Amino acid sequence: MSLIIKNALLVDGQRIDLLIEEEKIAQIAPAGSITKGSQVIDAKGSLLIPGLVDLHTHLREPGREDAETVDTGSRAAVRGGFTAISAMANTLPVADTAGVVEQIFRLGEATGLCDVFPIGAVTVGLEGKKLSELGAMNQSAAKVRIFSDDGKCVYDPLIMRRALEYVKSFDGLISQHAQEPRLTEGAQMNEGAVSSELGLAGWPAIAEEAIIARDILLAEHVDSRLHIAHLTTAGGVELVRWAKARGVKVTAEVTPHHLLLTDESVRGYDAVFKVNPPLRTEVDVMALRAGLADGTIDIVATDHAPHPSEDKDCEWQAAAFGMLGLETALSVVVQTMIETGLLDWAGLVQRMSTNPAKIAGYTDHGQVIAVGSVANLALIDTQARWTVDRNKMASKSKNTPFNKMELPAVVTHTIYRGRLVLADSEVREGAAK
């Protein structure tokens, strides 16, 4: 079984043919020079990049299969050009034991469209009181490397310190959802001019920044790695920049929606714009873009958070937090970072594939496109544009904030471990194992 991609463009401008045998890239040659092979994809000059890697995905299985499953989430992932996603721990039951993470890992394998790496909970039941069996999860078949109580903050400074220290023995990483709980009691949206006008309880930037600052100091003190999930404020970017300058081992992520949308979207009270952490201001958006461009923020992560319509089709206050992200991530980053001239495609690949794979230790992903690399790849029609239609998502849910928006760049093909899983933007039914 061999696969040829003809006439693809690499980010460095080379036009190539590429031969995949088994799982790996077997040959790269100038366009038009490779002819043998049982399956041929004509890239027609589309851009070939390493498959995208997401370190922040909510798949809802087990427990909320009405919102998303590992299967539908994997489909959404490959539609978005992802070959690896990381399933957050806030499932029902919580992924806080080896048993649950292995179950999710097996479901990912069974689906077989992309790698599904479970994230383990830092504390039992996400309650912030007692460390989960982090070592057992790491040593399980799922080989968990990232731990997070995402959705909740590891608020207790002592627990956070212990977690940061404990995972060092197996080079684990704590991904912190930075949210000071007391300052955000009942909070509904970013605190500022818009929240004051709309009469919605405010979520101050400081509630995020206070935890980021504390955790940076903790990580420095115990000399541990720290990852800041979904950074949203200009102040947070400053803190991470300061920490990196001091040599603290901190990495940070930003979501596509925080790169594009502001709290102005909340006017109208459409709960599709309700997300945790909340949409911030224009100033924050610009700081996040600048931070992602200059490397202060290492990666883009989707925080893909599916919710069934009854949890969004209601009063703002009663609605769930979260937005879909996998299928629109690349296009939103192209619009906010490439079309604005802040990043080139090589820079995008680094932040959506190379860096996240490196941070998480997903060694088969984010590799350079070279002979011998695992064939986790995506083909992008960079010239095409598409209109988001929430009724045509691969995800089981419809809560995309980008509905009806026209966005640049279409993912046409995704190749996962040498197998074509997405062709002409459609998931190949035969491809799922």
Partner 1 sequence: MMKTHLLSINDLDRADVISILDTAEELGKISDGASKKLPTLRGRTIVNLFFEDSTRTRISFESAAKRLSADVINFSAKGSSVSKGESLKDTAQTLQAMGADAVIIRHSASGAAQRLADSGWISAAVINAGDGTHEHPTQALLDAYTIRQNFPHFRNGFEGLHVGIVGDILHSRVARSNVLLLKKLGAKVTLIAPPTLIPVGASTWDVEVSYNFDDALPELDVVMMLRIQSERMQNSFFPSEREYSRQFGLDARRLKMQKSGGIVMHPGPMNRGLEISADSADSLQSVVLQQVSNGVLTRMAVLYQLLGGAPLTQQAGA
Catalytically active residues, by annotation: 303
Closest CA to 212 of 192, 193, 184, 237: 237
Q: Contact with partner 1 (CB under 8 A): which of 1, 110, 314, 346?
A: 314
- Applying CB under 8 A, does 321 fall inside the site for partner 1? no
Give me the sign of the Cα torsion angle 64, 231, 146, 71.
positive
Q: Secondary structure of the chain in the HEC alphabet?
A: CEEEEEEEECCCCCEEEEEEECCEEEEEEECCCCCCCCEEEECCCCEEEECEECCCECCCCCCCCCCCCHHHHHHHHHHCCEEEEEECCCCCCCCCCHHHHHHHHHHHHHHCCCEEEECECCEHHHCCCCECCHHHHHHCCCCCCEECCCCCCCCCHHHHHHHHHHHHHHCCEEEECCCCCHHHCCCCEECCHHHHHHCCCEECHHHHHHHHHHHHHHHHHHCCCEEECCCCCHHHHHHHHHHHHHCCCEEEEECHHHHHCCHHHHCCCCHHHCCCCCCCCHHHHHHHHHHHHHCCCCEECCCECCCCHHHCCCCHHHCCCCECCCCCHHHHHHHHHHCCCCCCHHHHHHHHHHHHHHHHCCCCCCCCCCCCCECCEEEEEEEEEEECCHHHCCCCCCCCCCCCCEEEEEEEEEEECCEEEEECCEECHHHCC
Q: Which stretch binds partner 1 (CB under 8 A): 35-43, 84-92, 308-316, 347-355?
A: 308-316
Least distance to partner 1, CB of residue 195, Å: 7
- Applying CB under 8 A, does 316 fall inside the site for partner 1? yes
Contact 62, 260 (CB under 8 A): no
Query: Under rule CB under 8 A, how many of the chain's residues touch partner 1?
Result: 25
Q: Which stretch binds partner 1 (CB under 8 A): 71-79, 121-129, 310-318, 355-363?
A: 310-318
- Applying CB under 8 A, does 42 fall inside the site for partner 1? no
Q: Contact with partner 1 (CB under 8 A): which of 202, 235, 256, 401?
A: 202
Least distance to partner 1, CB of residue 99, Å: 32
Which parts of 255-274 interact with partner 1 (CB under 8 A)?
268-270
Least distance to partner 1, CB of residue 276, Å: 17
Q: Contact with partner 1 (CB under 8 A): which of 173, 319, 333, 337?
A: 319
Taking the least distance from each CB to partner 1, the nearer of 100 and 205 is 205
Taking the least distance from each CB to partner 1, the nearer of 115 and 208 is 208
Taking the least distance from each CB to partner 1, the nearer of 204 and 361 is 204
- Applying CB under 8 A, does 278 fall inside the site for partner 1? no
Taking the least distance from each CB to partner 1, the nearer of 78 and 272 is 272
- Applying CB under 8 A, does 45 fall inside the site for partner 1? no
Taking the least distance from each CB to partner 1, the nearer of 215 and 311 is 311
Least distance to partner 1, CB of residue 145, Å: 38
Interface mask (CB under 8 A) for partner 1, residues 161-200, using x and -?
---------------------------x--xxxxxxxxxx
Least distance to partner 1, CB of residue 277, Å: 17
Least distance to partner 1, CB of residue 315, Å: 4
Least distance to partner 1, CB of residue 152, Å: 20
406 has which bridge partners?
Answer: 387
- Applying CB under 8 A, does 317 fall inside the site for partner 1? yes
Positions touching partner 1 (CB under 8 A) are: 188, 191-202, 204, 268-270, 310, 313-319
